[in-house]
């Protein structure tokens, strides 16, 4: 199998790490090809064929609403090595490290401490390995909207993460990762991340209060994530856009209104892309056909409506959009959308 690699006219691969969605049934063919795969992230039930040991394999048991199922594949431009250290499975090339860690949290007890411990571990590990900049991180938080002992699990998660980042002296203005934080129902905390030798460029959204400045009503400590983070290489850049929702300022807008929430979310994503292109001095940019979207939907019965609207509102290719059913961190959010946008030099 050959996968289009976005090469320059001279034949050089333009980005050290790129993401693709491939039909899950095509993975055996990918694994037997010469492609340098850094990681596969499979959403839904586990794949029923062997995954090579020299890559990171993540399974996130969230239901895919569209069929046939697709898998998120991370491709390297150069040789990949992999190993496990202190519960972190990782693979790496000369500039990027991809990591994965899972915590079993029976009864979802002591979530804050579990999250803090995992974030401390990840921060120390990435520093030790000399990939000290966490660029992008995905969090699947058990029973995210439940409130044991009066504090919602999302808020406990956010607290544990903040404590770890403060302890590790992460600079909130320059070195926060882009992030997603969604619910999961299997009693596990599932985390995967991309870290880099060189710093990314943190992007915020002028329509929204920076998340790390959210007021206290959203939790004892504000969520520590950037709206987006960019990795620039010779030939272009990859922009990791965080989970994005119908939030303006810090308030949720369009409660109980799917269409309103989706349009506001797309405006927010396009604003973040616009901020990124200003910073990178590239031409103006909005969501385009080769970008990847992941759409998290609270109630699967809204899937057809959301898919329909999204096809009208953006020109992202249908096969580049993954739809998952899951709980979202604020209980008034009906949907959330994350993006990976790859922009190449003209």
State the residues that interact with ligand 3EB by CB under 6 A.
Answer: 158, 179-181, 211, 223, 225, 242-243, 245, 247, 329
Nearest approach, Cβ of residue 99 and ligand 3EB (Å): 17
Query: Beta strand 56-60 with 37-43: parallel, antiparallel or unpaired?
Result: parallel
Cβ–Cβ < 8 Å for 178, 240 = yes
Q: Which residue, 80 or 306, is less far from ligand 3EB as judged by CB?
A: 306
Q: Which residue, 92 or 225, is less far from ligand 3EB as judged by CB?
A: 225
Nearest approach, Cβ of residue 328 and ligand 3EB (Å): 7
Cβ-proximal residue to ligand 3EB, closest one: 243
Nearest approach, Cβ of residue 23 and ligand 3EB (Å): 27
For residue 94, the SS3 value is: coil
Q: Which residue, 126 or 158, is less far from ligand 3EB as judged by CB?
A: 158
Say if residue 68 is preceded by a cis peptide, omega within 30 of 0: yes
Cβ–Cβ < 8 Å for 329, 181 = yes
According to DSSP, the residues that pair with 252 across neighbouring strands are: 247
Q: Which residue, 4 or 216, is less far from ligand 3EB as judged by CB?
A: 216
What would the two tokens of residue 243 be? 């989970």
Nearest approach, Cβ of residue 22 and ligand 3EB (Å): 25
Q: Which residue, 245 or 258, is less far from ligand 3EB as judged by CB?
A: 245
What is the CB neighbour count within 10 angstroms for residue 169?
A: 8
Strands (E), the chain: 17-23, 37-43, 56-60, 63-64, 70-76, 81-85, 88-92, 96-104, 133-142, 178-184, 188-196, 201-203, 228-233, 236-244, 247-248, 251-252, 292-297, 321-325, 335-344
Q: Which residue, 80 or 292, is less far from ligand 3EB as judged by CB?
A: 292
Cβ–Cβ < 8 Å for 284, 312 = no
What would the two tokens of residue 196 be? 């880099």
Nearest approach, Cβ of residue 182 and ligand 3EB (Å): 8
Nearest approach, Cβ of residue 272 and ligand 3EB (Å): 11
């Amino acid at each position: 199998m050959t996968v289009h690699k976005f090469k320059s006219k001279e034949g050089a691969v333009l980005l050290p790490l790129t993401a693709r969605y491939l039909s899950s049934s095509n993975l055996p063919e990918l694994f037997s090809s010469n492609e340098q795969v850094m990681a596969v992230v499979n959403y839904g039930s586990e794949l029923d064929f062997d995954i090579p040991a020299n890559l990171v394999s993540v399974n996130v048991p969230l239901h895919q609403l569209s069929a046939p199922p697709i898998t998120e594949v991370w491709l390297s431009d150069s040789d990949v090595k992999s190993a496990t250290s202190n519960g972190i499975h990782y693979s790496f090339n000369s500039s990027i490290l991809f990591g994965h860690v899972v915590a079993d949290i029976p009864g979802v007890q002591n979530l804050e401490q579990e999250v803090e411990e995992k974030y401390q571990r990840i921060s120390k590990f990435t520093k030790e390995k000399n990939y000290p900049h966490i660029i992008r991180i995905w969090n699947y938080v058990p029973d995210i909207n439940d409130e044991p002992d009066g504090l919602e699990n999302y808020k406990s998660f956010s607290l544990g993460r903040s404590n770890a980042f403060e302890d590790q002296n992460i600079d909130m203005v320059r070195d926060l990762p882009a992030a997603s934080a969604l619910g999961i129902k299997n009693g596990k905390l599932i985390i995967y991340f991309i870290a880099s030798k060189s710093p990314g460029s943190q992007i915020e959204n002028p329509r929204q209060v920076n998340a790390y400045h959210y007021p206290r009503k959203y939790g004892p400590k504000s969520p520590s994530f950037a709206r987006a983070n960019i990795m620039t290489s010779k030939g272009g850049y990859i922009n990791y856009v965080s989970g994005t929702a119908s939030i303006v300022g810090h308030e949720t807008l369009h409660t109980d209104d799917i269409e309103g929430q989706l349009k506001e979310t797309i405006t927010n994503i396009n604003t973040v892309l616009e901020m990124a292109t200003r910073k990178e001095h590239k031409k103006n940019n909005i969501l385009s056909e080769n970008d990847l979207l992941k759409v998290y939907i609270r109630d699967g019965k809204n899937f057809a409506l959301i898919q329909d609207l999204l096809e009208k509102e953006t020109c992202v290719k249908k096969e580049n959009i993954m739809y998952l059913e899951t709980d979202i961190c604020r209980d008034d959010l009906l949907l959330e959308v994350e993006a990976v946008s790859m922009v190449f030099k003209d």
